[in-house]
Structures are given as structure tokens and as C-alpha cells.
Amino acid sequence: IAIYKSKGYKVAAVTTDTWRPGAYEQLVQLTDQIGVKCYGNPNEKNAIKLAVRETKKAINDEHDIIIVDTAGRHKEEKELMKEMEKIEASLKPNEVILVIDGSLGQQAYSQAEEFAKATNIGSIIVTKLDGTAKGGGALSACAATNQSIRFIGVGEKLEDFEEFNPTTFVGTLLGIPDIEGLVSRVQEAEIDVDPDLVKRMMKGKFTLDDLYIQLKSIKKVGKMKQILAMMGGGNIPEALTDDAEKNLEKWEVVLNSLTQEEKEDPKIIKKTRKRRIAIGSGTDYTTINRMLDQY
């Protein structure tokens, strides 16, 4: 709301949250701070009727942008999901924006997927990125809805909203100060991105086969010390980066000694299998255990 108002638009808010006590009063209090009118009626308990009536009022008052706020809901709350479908069908909005909690994690995928089935999601807002949450789950929401992030929330005030910058977001997410340099190095290495692998990772699925692919990709990008420098680890002693390099080489040999079944289900790798793998790869139990722990 504050972003559009700062750009000179005449903005209005409509609240249709009939479930949460004080929802109307809270939104009025917030919008009053920046001189934006909020439409609603705390006595109306039918969200669809409320949405249609109050949005018509806002349209008649000739607002450029009308933001309709709906009640928060979980994908398992079937009644609320149907309510959302009816609100969209009644209003026929220019765009439906999905708001995702930045701390939601991998649950964001299934949540966003159900919302996309119920409504025509046009973009995403990620909130609560001012705390410890980095918003990685938001990328899962993008994958589930096939839509992009429009804004991110970095505080509790209406002004604490920023237009989404993918480079900055990913750099913060990964803790990488030179994300552009790293991306450039990856592009130079001509690493092919497997869409199926990306989808699996978005859903939290990652096999030892996938780990092997990642190790091969890292080797293409360059020496470990160069990569770590781009990721903010330039002051790490050379001895440690050399050890990391050697460990990756050992892991690659270990992975080559696994059966396909073991790569897809590492839980079956017990003592007898480890003995066979150690002999086949010329390594030891410590190397195998360390790799599995890191995986």
C-alpha cells in the first residue's frame, strides 16, 4: 500500500477478514498512518458479500489501486479455501497475490501448491524477513505457483516493504556477498541445470546421486578457495581449503563405489555395506561416515 501511494497512486484497502477479532480495526489503524482509506464492516460476517460491497464503494470513489485483504488460512481449512475461491470469482481481480511467511520453510511448497489450485496466483509477497528467517521456503512457493516474488516484508510498519531484488535476496539467503561473481563463474563453467533436480530440491528431496552431480559441478566452477572467497570465506586458512578439496575428491570416489539403490536410499548403508564401499573406494569408515553426515 505504502509503495503504491509513494508512487502517486490513489490507493484504498478493503478488509474481508471476518474470522480474526479486531482485523478491521487493526487495518484501519495501519492505513490511517499513511492517509489511505480502508473499507470494511466489522458487523458483516459474510466475507464474499463484504468483499463485493466494499470493493464497489472503493471503485465508486475512483481509487487507482484497490488492495483486498483476505483472512489468513491454511491449505487444510477447506471452508476458508472455498471462501477464497468465491471471493476471487466475485471480484475478478487484476491480480491475486499470495502472502507467504518467510519462516515457513519447505512447507511453503505444499501450501502454495494448494493455493494455486484454488485461485489464479499472479505473484508472491514474502513477509518477516527482518528476523532470523531468510525466506528459502519462498523459492519453493515460486516453484509451486510458477510465479515470481513481487515484494518482501522487512518489518511491521506499512513502509517496511521492498520491491524484490533476486540478486540481493539469493545473496542474503546463501550468505554470499559476491553472488554476481559466483553466478558469472558458474555460467563460464557451462554447467547444465537439470530442471528435475531443481524441482526435487525445492520439495526437500535430495539423493546421493544429486550430491554427486553437485560435486562434479563444484569442480567445474574452480578451486575451493576461489569459490569460498566469493562466498565470504576469503580469510579461511589455505590448509583448511586444501583439506576440503581433498575431502570432495574422496567423496567422489566413495559415491562411485555405491550401488544405485544405496544412492537413492542412504539409510540402508550399514556396517557391512560400508566395509564393501571402503574396500572398493580405497577409503575408510571415517571418510564414508563424514560424507553421509554432511549429506
For residues 12-18, give the mean pLDDT: 93
According to CATH, the topology of domain 2-174 is Rossmann fold (3.40.50)
Give the model confidence (pLDDT) of 27-77 as tens digits: 999 899 889 999 999 999 999 999 999 999 999 999 999 999 998 887 778
Q: What is the fold of 179-294?
A: 434 Repressor (Amino-terminal Domain) (1.10.260)
Q: What pLDDT sits at residue 65?
A: 96
Which secondary structure element, helix H or strand E, spans residue 65, and what is its range? strand 65-69
Determine whether 87 is exposed, middle or buried from the number of CB atoms within 10 Å of its CB (0-12, 13-18, 19+).
buried
- Cβ count within 10 A of residue 247: 15
Position 179 confidence tier, pLDDT thresholds 50, 70, 90:
low
Torsion angle (degrees, nearest 10) of CA 135, 136, 139, 140: -110
| Mean local confidence (pLDDT), 251-274 | 92
The three cell numbers locating residue 145: 505457483
Question: Looking at 144-153, 232-241, 281-290, which range is the least confident one?
Answer: 232-241
The pLDDT of residue 276 is above 90: yes
Amino acid, res. 233 = G
C-alpha grid cell for residue 166? 533476486
Could you give the strand order of the β-sheet that contains 161-163, starting from the edge strand earlier in sequence? 96-101, 121-127, 149-153, 161-163
Yes or no: say if 162 and 201 are a contact pair by the CB < 8 Å rule. Answer: no
- Quick one: CA dihedral 48, 51, 54, 60, positive or negative? negative
Whether the predicted pLDDT of 237 surpasses 70: no
pLDDT band for 270, please (50, 70, 90 cuts): very high
Beta strand spans in 70-112 (E)? 96-101
The percent of the chain in helix, strand and coil, each rounded to the nearest 5, is 55, 10, 35
pLDDT of residue 36: 94
Give residue limits of the domains in the chain: 2-174, 179-294
Give yes or no for a contact between 231 and 174, defined as CB atoms under 8 angstroms apart: yes
Place of cell 485461485: 119
